[in-house]
Homo-oligomer: A and B are copies of this chain.
Amino acid sequence: MADFDYGTLLDLPARVRAASPLVHCLTNLVVSNFTANVLLALGASPAMVVAPEETGEFAAIADALLVNIGTIDSQQLLAMRFAIAGANGAGKPWVLDPIVAGLPFRMNAARQFISQGPAAIRGNASEIIALASEGQTKTKGVDSLGPAEDALESARALAVESRTIVAVSGETDYVVDGTRTLAIPGGHSLMTQVTGVGCALNAAIAAYITVARDPFLGTAGALLAFATAGEAAARQATGPGSFAVAFLDQLSQLDILSMPVGASS
């Protein structure tokens, strides 16, 4: 039985829409447009301020920060460091999207960032396993491309080590912290055939945790919102092009969530 009340996350879409949190996104160049449109569809307010001259100041003003290292370079690394310092200094939550891809430059960046206290981390199974493994915690290997379940042990280790929330995406998604685990089934395979759905989910997590009682609920609410909208959009789509369009439309119509059959904690 869950040690939290589902009811506390089911109205998150309406609360995000009412609060319209300003989400500062430092993300990769492939998905910046889609990420902004997802945040707008959810009723949040996206802002991509990227210069190292500005990110620290702006992250302190914004309600939440997204750090996605998918196309990180040396300038963006600097911009992200300043942004994280700005967010931390102002007590604003930030979310890490660790697209580590087996490359040392960004793995170092991800590890540095994790030590700065993200409110949440979300990735796929191989990313979470790679991150936990780098931290010398016990995992099943760094090259897994398997289901989210394979990364649950790593996710818990990473959550404990870093005192954060960790979400793992897969056919069933999982949200864990040091003691709790929530499984969220649902969604649709078309979500993996549109670039940036996972990246935009991290932006949604950033928006949701600004109105949630704790980051665990905010993270779970964003995953549930995506699973719900993804299923509805897939019913309207004939391929990934029409799916992306329908997904934005569905996100814009989310109000009160329903817990999907099979959710467990």
Contact = CB atoms under 8 A, between A and B. Distances in A.
A264 interface: no
Most buried by B among A30, A101, A249: A30
A193 B252 contact: yes
Interface in A233-265: 237-242, 244-253
Given A249-B239, A249-B241, A252-B239, A71 B58 contact: no
B249 A103 contact: no
A13 to B, nearest CB: 14
A75 interface: yes
Given A51-B73, A73-B75, A247-B241, A195 B46 contact: yes
Q: How many copies does the complex hold?
A: 3
Contact of A51 (B37, B74, B244, B253): B74
A238 to B, nearest CB: 5
Interface in A201-223: none
Given A101-B47, A252-B193, A106 B34 contact: no
Contacts of A74: 51, 53
A247 B36 CA distance: 18
A194 B40 contact: yes
A52 to B, nearest CB: 7
A47 to B, nearest CB: 7
A203 to B, nearest CB: 12
B249 A242 contact: yes
A48 B71 CA distance: 7
Contacts of A51: 71-74, 105-106
B40 A195 contact: yes
A116 B29 CA distance: 27
Interface string A57-69: 1100100000000
Interface string A183-207: 0000000000111100000000000
Nearest to A237: B249
A122 B100 CA distance: 31
A157 B165 CA distance: 51
A157 B71 CA distance: 37
A246 B71 CA distance: 28
A8 interface: no
A73 B61 contact: no
Given A33-B196, A40-B194, A72-B51, A253 B240 contact: no
7 contacts: A40-B240, A48-B71, A51-B74, A241-B246, A241-B247, A241-B252, A244-B245
